[in-house]
Structures are given as C-alpha cells and as structure tokens.
Amino acid sequence: MLLEVSGLNLWYGEKHVLKNINFCIEKGEVLCVVGESGSGKTSILYSLLGLFQWGARLEGSIKFMGREILGLQEAEYRRIRGRHISIVFQEPSVYLDPLFRIGVQVEEAYRAHYKEGDVKKIALQALKKAGIQDAERVYHSYPHHLSGGLKQRVCIAMATVCNPELVLADEPTTALDVSIQGRILRLFREMKEEGKSVILITHDFGVVAEVADRVIVLKDGEIVEENNVFGIFDSPKHPYTQELLRAI
C-alpha cells in the first residue's frame, strides 16, 4: 500500500473541516475525490503535505510507504514534498514566479532534492514529458509569455521532475478549454502507466470517467461514498452521489 489515511480529522479554529476521513491508494492507481466547493477536497491534499493554515489542528494517521508522516517537523516534510509526494495546484499563475524564467523554476524544483546531474537537460526532459513540444522555447520564457494550458503543463513538469511516487492534483483542468483539458488528463494516464499514483481533486464527472480507478465522494468534510469508477456511475448508493450525477 502506497498511502493509508485513517481517522483523519482537521479543524481550522472551531470549524471541523475534515471528519474521520479514511482511504488508501495503491501504486499505479488514480483516485478521484469529488464534491461541491467547500466540501474539504483541497484540505485533504494539504493535510497529506503538511501545508496547514495557521491555527489548524490535525488528528489521525497518514502512512506513506509504511511510514507515519502526520506530525512531522517542517524539515522532514520538505524532504518529502516534491521528491516523494508532489502537487499540481489549480491556478498555475499563482504558483509560477513572474520574475524568473520557466527553466530556472523547473531546475529549482529539482535542485531542492538533488545536487548532481545536468539540470538543464533534466528540466527540458521534464517539460517534454509534460507534453510541451517546444520545450527549449518554454524553458527560456517567462510565465506571462505562456497560455493557461502551457502554464499548467509547466506545473506538471515541476511536480514530476523528481519522479515522485505520488502526485496530487487540485482541479488541474479548471478553466482550460476541452482540447487542452484532454491533453492534461492524458498526462495523468501516462503517469499511471509509469507506476505513479495520482489523487485528483475535481467536481467534473467527465474527468472522473476519463481517468479514475476509484472515486471518493465528499460532502461537508465527510466521505459519503467510495467505490470503483464503474460502481459510482452504474449504481451510486448515496443520494448525494446520485444528485451530483444528475447534475451533469
């Protein structure tokens, strides 16, 4: 088992955000987490990486590759982030530094964990692997030179340049047109084929149908249903899941 989450509870002050969350993910599996805005989907990802808001309180267990990682010191989290567990954020423009060229930023993600190797070659390989054909041009570009779809693929390159075992993706296709969305989802399928695991946050059941192996349905911080993708579409059990599917 690559990741096991059990009895996870998260509070922001007095607000109980995540309530007794339990799930696991195998190597080479894509797990989709669906639910309406405010249901706690992104909080699950941040909990896995130790990215807490001030005043957050977290209880439970998060085991990654058999090791308990909940409650690690910040220095230990830094050794895991990017190297073993990485994240692709929803809005790439917020997470790409406008003052630095793309190549520098991809290289920095690699240098955070490795000190050896031809970093330019490794960065270009990561950009190409993320589906960027003109990698050399993008490498020398600033973020404002790129379209939204290219920025998102750059973020995927940064998330995968260290070849992590688990990639977290927070609604990575939101606001992208259908053709670009298809390319991004194809990248996640390729990650699965390479043996990487992916936890994908989405509210789009079209995305779920295209990439998911299993699905978690989240409502008000609680898992109300979990099943393989065929079970979710063919025989949803919970009324909330049925309501979400009817809304497609």
User: What confidence score (pLDDT) does residue 117 get?
Assistant: 85
* C-beta neighbour count of 136 within 10 angstroms: 14
Q: Considering the domain boundaries, does residue 91 fall inside one?
A: no
Please state the pTM of the whole predicted model.
Answer: 0.93
Domain count, the chain: 2
Q: Are residues 169 and 242 in the same domain?
A: yes
The enclosing domain of 61 has a CATH number of 3.40.50.300
Q: Are residues 115 and 150 in the same domain?
A: yes
Contacts by residues 180-187 (CB-CB < 8 Å, ≥ 24 positions apart): 180/147, 180/148, 180/149, 180/152, 181/207, 183/131, 183/149, 183/153, 184/131, 184/149, 184/152, 184/153, 184/156, 185/210, 185/211, 186/131, 187/130, 187/131, 187/153, 187/156
pLDDT of 121 over the 80 cut? yes
Q: Are residues 169 and 78 in the same domain?
A: yes
User: What confidence score (pLDDT) does residue 38 get?
Assistant: 86
AA letter at 131: G
Q: Are residues 8 and 72 in the same domain?
A: yes
Q: Considering the domain boundaries, does residue 35 fall inside one?
A: yes
Q: Which of 172, 192, 169 is nearest to 183 (CA)?
A: 172
Q: Considering the domain boundaries, does residue 90 fall inside one?
A: no
Pairing of strands 67-68, 56-64: antiparallel
3-class DSSP assignment, residue 4: strand
Q: Considering the domain boundaries, does residue 141 fall inside one?
A: yes
pLDDT of 45 over the 70 cut? yes
Domain boundary residue, one of 162, 189, 215: 162
Q: Considering the domain boundaries, does residue 25 fall inside one?
A: yes
pLDDT interval class at 175 (50, 70, 90): low
Q: Which domain holds residue 108?
A: 98-162
Q: Are residues 22 and 58 in the same domain?
A: yes
Q: Are residues 41 and 145 in the same domain?
A: no
Residue 88 — φ and ψ, nearest 5°?
-110, 115
Q: Using CA atoms, how far apart are residues 115 and 177, in angstroms rounded to an integer?
A: 38
pLDDT of 174 over the 80 cut? no
Q: Structure tokens of 162?
A: 């260290």
Q: Are residues 79 and 168 in the same domain?
A: yes
Give residue-wise pLDDT tens across range 179-235. 778 888 888 899 899 999 999 999 888 889 999 999 999 999 999 999 999 999 999
Residue 144 DSSP code: G
